[in-house]
Amino acid sequence: MIVVTGATGNIGRTLVPLLAAAGEDVVAVSRRERPADLPAGVRHARADVGDAAGMRPVLDGADALFLLLGGELNSHGESPRALVDAAARGGVERIVLVSSQLNSTRPEAPSHARLRAFEAAVRGSGRDFTVLRPSGFASNAFAWADAVRAERTVHAPFGDVALPVVDPADIAEVAAAALREGGHAGRTYELTGPEAVSPRQQAATIAGALGEEVAFVELSREQAHAQMARFMPEEAIGGTLDVLGVPLPAERKVSGDVERVLGRPARPFAEWAARHAPAFR
């Protein structure tokens, strides 16, 4: 049995059907009622990942745990050891954790201290573990969807700074491999897209997927901070803006880990934009 946290999120929405299609016994965790789009045969558990005692019965009898920290769990909450211990007591033998590329490139960043603590707990758990360290997600472009729908405009900072954004579907496929197959224990994978793309190029790609013009308006760092504060914890914003605006050479680099694990190149941003064009129409 595989327990998937963050099951309704960008990665989880792909991961759950993938595991189910492969014949795995899946328990999808979310805080709400069973989502309507969960595949038949997938069990649903209503629980809060931030509450280890509440997660304990969900983890009972599980072989593997996909551990993703949603929203505020990235900045505060119980000791990561509490959840990892609950997993161990439930019988979990394998943990796949979604962390961040920043834990390679900026190991002191205060914004990612909690993800680092989860990495340490998972590494020290005595379970088989795989740590996924993705770059910025292609799906962060959903933040532009309202303005594209309303006024065919993308408002974003650092318009010409290109970064190799990763498709969450690729993260999900790598996670599925690490959860189901041998050979990934003790590994840390850095997951990026196949090429660096700037926000201006992303806007043009979305325009191409819509078959319509989309304007680009560059925001100042302060304006971007205010925009991000609507959907990100305050603690995470500064570090994220540093990466978007002044990336280190290692953050501009394309990693080969998606291709190494999946045996095919990472998906380009254009593929994500084509799949999600209806959200921008």
Ligand X SMILES: NC(=O)c1ccc[n+]([C@@H]2O[C@H](COP(=O)([O-])OP(=O)(O)OC[C@H]3O[C@@H](n4cnc5c(N)ncnc54)[C@H](OP(=O)(O)O)[C@@H]3O)[C@@H](O)[C@H]2O)c1
Cβ proximity to ligand X: between 69 and 92 the closer is 69
Site for ligand X (CB under 6 A): which residue of 9, 90, 193, 199?
Answer: 9
Binding flag, residue 191, ligand X (CB under 6 A): no
Residues 256-275 that bind ligand X (CB under 6 A): none
Q: Facing residues of 3 across strands?
A: 27, 65
Residues 10-69 that bind ligand X (CB under 6 A): 10-12, 30-32, 48-50, 68-69
CB contact burial 191-226 (16+ within 10 A = b; e otherwise): bbbbbbbbbbbbbbbbbebbeeebebeebeeeebbe
95 strand-pairing partners: 65, 129
* Binder of ligand X out of 136, 157, 164, 199 (CB under 6 A): 136
d(CA 247, CA 161): 8
**Interface segment toward ligand X; rule CB under 6 A; list 4-12, 80-88, 153-161, 261-269:** 4-12
**How many H-runs (helices) and E-runs (strands) does the chain carry?**
13, 9
Task: Tell me the angle at which helices 80-90 and 113-123 cross, rounded to the nearest 10 degrees.
Answer: 30
| Closer to ligand X by Cβ: residue 32 or 230 | 32
Least distance to ligand X from the beta carbon of 211, Å?
A: 27
- Report yes or no: 64 and 94 within 8 Å, Cβ to Cβ: yes
Binding site for ligand X (CB under 6 A): 6, 8-12, 30-32, 48-50, 68-71, 73-74, 98, 100, 115, 134, 136-137, 140, 168
